[in-house]
Structure 1
Amino acid sequence: MLMSANQPLQRERGMMYWEPEYETMPRERLEQLQLERLKNTVKRVYRSVPFYREAFKERGLEPGDIKSLEDLKKLPFTTKQDLRDNYPYGLFAVPMGEVVRLHASSGTTGKPSVVGYTRKDIENWADLIARCLVMAGAGREDIIQNAYGYGLFTGGLGIHYGAERLGATVVPVSGGNTARQLMLMQDFGTTILTCTPSYALYLGEEGEAAGINFKKLPLKAGVFGAEPWTEKMRAQIESKLDIMALDIYGLSEIMGPGVSMECPAKQGSHIFEDHFIAEIIDPETGETLPYGQRGELVLTTITKEAIPLIRYRTRDISSLHPEKCACGRTHVRMKRVTGRTDDMLIIRGVNVFPSQVESVLLEFGETEPHYLLVVDRKGDLDDLEIWVELSERMFSDEVRHLESLENRIRHKILSVLNISARIKFVEPRTIPRSEGKAKRVMDRREM
């Protein structure tokens, strides 16, 4: 039975859990639960989602053919392109009258990938985030400063509802305005910080410059995600803010943050397997790989109502480890994501595809179709500069015309990517050409 926010947190074997029945469930019982929920999900999508019904028929499959978890590999993959092709609601398994919220992630051509949530989806999501916060040591007495962005991005509202579900006090400050963040952190007595790791590090730097002694603040832990980060960055964050820094993982298409969460053992993030079935595949062949091998993470939702996804290819590179953790949780752990199988970049928590930049440049027609995204880290924050090759005609144009073009491109990039970038014009034929796939990205960040 799920716990409600007015029930006490449960402590077992000295460890704190939000839903101990599920978080510490023996593997055999957990796999039985997964199979039961998988079968129900397959039946629902076959009945309610034409895309899946056709995909099953192409493989000669019917819902009754799924008799074991091993049969999962018989099912078709779902990709981000499938979400684009069925934009906006083609993959929904419920009528819009049952959808209480929409979120979306950025798309490669300006059209986002849309996901919906029923009331039950929102409740499940809140419970998953409550699990994550409890893993970071949060309880009802804590003050959680939520510096993830609110809006179509899932981070802000996902953490917010989970913190309220836990019964903690949430400060919905959203991102940016660093001086205000630091002021509230001191005045409100923040104990848990949630934001991107790069912003956490930036807060530490700015706080240090402002003379703040973080050791004297009640801040004790941080839940950081939405972008890749390293053990080196963790050590820096923990040192500057005097906290325990933990990794949270998720993606909009599957749920948002709360697909997996790192416990204080810091030996990988626990995937909440009572809601998601995880696989690692060879990204080239699609073959399922055994535990411990690196490959592409694939996730199947088994409790989602509005938009259940079968074998969704995340494009994230990781590995899975089933050994029971020192924290007592039995859910499989995924190692930190080390890369992707596509060309997507994550900059300041925002998904950026080179093709998005290309589509913007093509709109103007005053530049050549040759560009380079130069990503660096200035201090503790990601920095994006876009090198754009001018045409011969524009290169010899007046400076004021070039300044006007630069401003127009910069504003269009901001509206499409929802991220600021500097524009640097370069001479014709100075961006290297390639006989194979064009090199569009120069990532100078130390990961």
Structure 2
Amino acid sequence: MIWNKIESAKREDIEKVQLKRLKEVVTRVYALSPFYKQKFDELGITPDDIKSLEDIQKLPFTKKQDLRDNYPFGLFTVPMSEVVRIHSSSGTTGKPTVVGYTEHDMEVWDEVMMRCLSMGDVNSKDVCHNAYGYGLFTGGLGFHEAAQKIGAAIVPASGGFTDRQLMLMRDFGATVLFATPSFALHLAEKARAAGPDFRKDYKLRCGFFGAEPTSEGLRKEVAEAWDIDYYEVYGLSEIIGPGVSCSCNKGRGLHIQEDHFYPEIIDPKTGEVLPDGEEGELVITTLTKQALPIIRYRTGDITRLYKEPCACGRTFVRMESVLGRADDMLIINGVNVYPSQVEHVIANTEGVTLNYQIVADKKGHLDKLEILVEVSDDIMMDNIAALEKIKKDLQQALLNNLYINANIILVEPKTIERSMGKAVRIVDKRK
């Protein structure tokens, strides 16, 4: 179901809306943000220089560090009396990034999230089990408000407490699951302990998953584990939270809500804008945010864009599922490797699960890569011949597909620590 007619508008009509809103947001930040005024003045740019969408390339980039440098409210363009919600990142690598929302911003957030949920036909008959974390993290409340406004019953389970989550999903008759894909797989793994036909005790029909890069293999495994339709949601707190884009069930990729978020793909090294279809770093400009409008935000996420209309009827530009983060990319003896690429290889190898961890280290002057992978439940750990074959197959597949040599360590099921939120896939001991 298409929630808003703008989602299926003609390309020229979408671009008219984008240009009008781009001019407005550039005028706003130049007048109300000392940070952006200084940036514009240094480049010799004024709002009058923005006459076409291509002129966005004249504007400066914004980075996560800029938000940290202006902690907590230095980039806000409204007085605190107009801010109705504050969220922030965890701040594990420094001061947290703080984001604020006006009442208008909250309406925009609800709108784009309701569009996402409509892709899975979520309605008043649904019971939505929300296993995203609540609090300063935008995930939990982002899904919560939209599901409630759309008329569905929302169960604010938050993260952790796996057994309790399963009890609530079963007893409350949850039909829709909101969770990270790794936690959804963990829930299925736990539920399967009740027997191979565990799904008969649950009423799930679809799920909305995000907050971590995932391979096609993991998406397929989650969908098959629960026998549900899989919808992928992309977002980041600096832009709005979840809801920047979402997949439908008719075509590949995620529809970007581009009447609110203007996307570009750049070369992460040079900053050069790349043509549609080429892989690079996603850059987003918020077109309608009031409290924290952001110009050309470098997300760090690696993807590509394409504008072909989708079979679902939506005409918004689509983004590929995020391949990985520019800062998560591992360089192993000169070869670029993303965790999702490794995950894709593992997903196509028999005898192993998608519970894995990548460990990078140094041996002398050379990089050394170890990959811990859990074997399937039906593989006996004392079957040396079977284990050796799995190990050899995986090593060969990694070499053939990614051009990397890795030491594969096969471990027993359920021995790699599970995460209640985003999965920890990389341990880089070289840093």
TM-score, normalised by the number of residues in structure 1: 0.74
Q: Which residue of 2 aligns with 1:153?
A: 137
CA contact (8 A) 1:225 1:249 kept: yes
CA contact (8 A) 2:88 2:97 kept: yes
Residue 76 of structure 1 aligns to a residue in which SS?
coil
CA contact (8 A) 2:210 2:232 kept: yes
Question: Does 1:125 pair with 2:109?
Answer: yes
Output the CA distance in 2 between the equivalents of 1:420 and 1:200.
11
Decide whether aligned partners of structure 1 residues 285 and 237 sit closer, same or farther in structure 2, where only a CA change above 3 A counts: same
CA contact (8 A) 1:182 1:207 kept: yes
Output the CA distance in 2 between the equivalents of 1:265 and 1:325.
7
Q: Which residue of 1 aligns with 2:418?
A: none
Q: How does 1:3-402 map to 2 (within 5 A)?
A: 16-19=1-4, 21-211=5-195, 213-215=198-200, 217-343=202-328
- The superposition leaves residues 231-265 of structure 1 with CA deviations (integer Å, 9 ceiling, x where unpaired) of 11122111110101121100010011000000012
What letter matches 1:104 in structure 2?
S
Count of residue pairs the alignment pairs up:
349
Decide whether aligned partners of structure 1 residues 162 and 78 sit closer, same or farther in structure 2, where only a CA change above 3 A counts: same
- The alignment yields a C-alpha RMSD, in angstroms, of 2.5
Decide whether aligned partners of structure 1 residues 223 and 28 sit closer, same or farther in structure 2, where only a CA change above 3 A counts: same
Decide whether aligned partners of structure 1 residues 180 and 377 sit closer, same or farther in structure 2, where only a CA change above 3 A counts: farther
Output the CA distance in 2 between the equivalents of 1:375 and 1:154.
31
Output the CA distance in 2 between the equivalents of 1:373 and 1:256.
34
Dislocated runs of 4+, deviation >3 Å: 343-347, 372-380, 418-421
CA contact (8 A) 2:132 2:158 kept: yes
What letter matches 1:331 in structure 2?
F
CA contact (8 A) 1:127 1:165 kept: no
Moved more, 336-345 or 149-158: 336-345
Q: CA deviation at 1:181?
A: 1.1
CA contact (8 A) 2:175 2:206 kept: yes
Q: CA deviation at 1:373?
A: 12
Output the CA distance in 2 between the equivalents of 1:420 and 1:223.
17
Q: CA deviation at 1:145?
A: 0.4
Counting aligned pairs with the same residue, the percent is: 56
Decide whether aligned partners of structure 1 residues 329 and 376 sit closer, same or farther in structure 2, where only a CA change above 3 A counts: farther
Decide whether aligned partners of structure 1 residues 240 and 262 sit closer, same or farther in structure 2, where only a CA change above 3 A counts: same
Output the CA distance in 2 between the equivalents of 1:116 and 1:64.
27
Decide whether aligned partners of structure 1 residues 420 and 189 sit closer, same or farther in structure 2, where only a CA change above 3 A counts: closer
Output the CA distance in 2 between the equivalents of 1:194 and 1:378.
25
Output the CA distance in 2 between the equivalents of 1:229 and 1:323.
23
What letter matches 2:297 in structure 1?
Y
Residue 208 of structure 1 aligns to a residue in which SS?
helix
Q: Which residue of 2 aligns with 1:436?
A: none
Output the CA distance in 1 between the equivalents of 2:263 and 2:67.
20
Residue 245 of structure 2 aligns to a residue in which SS?
strand
Q: CA deviation at 1:83?
A: 0.6
Q: CA deviation at 1:216?
A: 5.3
Output the CA distance in 2 between the equivalents of 1:420 and 1:310.
30
CA contact (8 A) 2:251 2:312 kept: no
Q: CA deviation at 1:22?
A: 1.4
CA contact (8 A) 1:137 1:221 kept: no
- The superposition leaves residues 91-123 of structure 1 with CA deviations (integer Å, 9 ceiling, x where unpaired) of 101111100111111335441000000011111
Decide whether aligned partners of structure 1 residues 323 and 420 sit closer, same or farther in structure 2, where only a CA change above 3 A counts: closer
What letter matches 1:226 in structure 2?
A
Decide whether aligned partners of structure 1 residues 197 and 266 sit closer, same or farther in structure 2, where only a CA change above 3 A counts: farther
Residue 72 of structure 2 aligns to a residue in which SS?
coil
What letter matches 1:277 in structure 2?
Y
Output the CA distance in 1 between the equivalents of 2:85 and 2:20.
27
What letter matches 2:284 in structure 1?
L
Output the CA distance in 2 between the equivalents of 1:114 and 1:162.
22
Decide whether aligned partners of structure 1 residues 307 and 344 sit closer, same or farther in structure 2, where only a CA change above 3 A counts: farther
What letter matches 2:121 in structure 1?
G
Residue 17 of structure 1 aligns to a residue in which SS?
coil
Q: Which residue of 2 aligns with 1:409?
A: none
What letter matches 1:323 in structure 2?
E
Decide whether aligned partners of structure 1 residues 203 and 58 sit closer, same or farther in structure 2, where only a CA change above 3 A counts: same
Structure 1 unaligned regions, length at least 5: 1-15, 348-371, 381-417, 425-430, 433-438, 441-447
CA contact (8 A) 1:190 1:218 kept: yes
Output the CA distance in 1 between the equivalents of 2:141 and 2:38.
34
Decide whether aligned partners of structure 1 residues 101 and 144 sit closer, same or farther in structure 2, where only a CA change above 3 A counts: same
Output the CA distance in 1 between the equivalents of 2:123 and 2:93.
42
What letter matches 2:172 in structure 1?
F
Residue 41 of structure 1 aligns to a residue in which SS?
helix
Residue 274 of structure 2 aligns to a residue in which SS?
coil
What letter matches 2:233 in structure 1?
I
CA contact (8 A) 1:202 1:379 kept: no
CA contact (8 A) 2:235 2:242 kept: yes
Decide whether aligned partners of structure 1 residues 251 and 185 sit closer, same or farther in structure 2, where only a CA change above 3 A counts: same
Decide whether aligned partners of structure 1 residues 298 and 96 sit closer, same or farther in structure 2, where only a CA change above 3 A counts: same
